[in-house]
Amino acid sequence: MERASQLQQEIKQRKPFRSKKQEAALGILRTADVIHRRGEALMAPHGITSQQYNVLRILRGAEPEGLPTLEIGHRLVEQTPGITRLLDRLEKKQWVKRWRCPEDRRQVLCRISKAGLALLERMQADVDRSEEESLQNFSQNEIQALIDMLDRARKA
């Protein structure tokens, strides 16, 4: 007579999972949700969402040339329309600048602004700390095993 798993309790499910793989998959989804919420909670006081923060970080990494809209989208795994409007909001808040690329007028190049860089600077310490705290009590071996398993799951 097994005890109900922790996840099973969390979602108040009566029946046990049909399989361990199913439980693990749901565990990944719920854990991602928790990590995501922690991230949002950290960002909110700065008036930015985690996705906007990710875009700014990508753009900082692409300084000083900047990047075309869709290239940012590819790095975020997001579909086009979303990234366009996300950039609209970042531009409205003056954290990014956009202009038509003169060499290829279909593209719109994006660069992070001074204000955007300053924002990232202000958030840096908080973010660094928080990104690790979810896996605080894990050994190096465990972390590596986790990384490897997740890589395999994504490839499947």
Q: Which residues bind a second copy (CB under 8 A)?
A: 5-7, 10-15, 18-25, 27-36, 61, 74-75, 77, 128, 131-138, 140, 142-147, 149-154, 156
- Residue 150 binds: one of DNA, a second copy, none (C-beta under 5 to 8 A by kind): a second copy
Tokens of 36: 């995501």
Helices (H), 1-155: 6-10, 20-43, 50-61, 69-76, 80-92, 114-133, 140-155
Among positions 59, 87, 112, 120, the unique one binding DNA when judged by CB under 7 A: 87
- Residue 55 in contact with residue 87, Cβ under 8 Å? yes
- Residue 63 in contact with residue 115, Cβ under 8 Å? no
Q: How far is the CB of 79 from DNA (least distance, A)?
A: 3
Q: Which of residues 1-60 bind DNA (CB under 7 A)?
A: 37, 49, 51-52
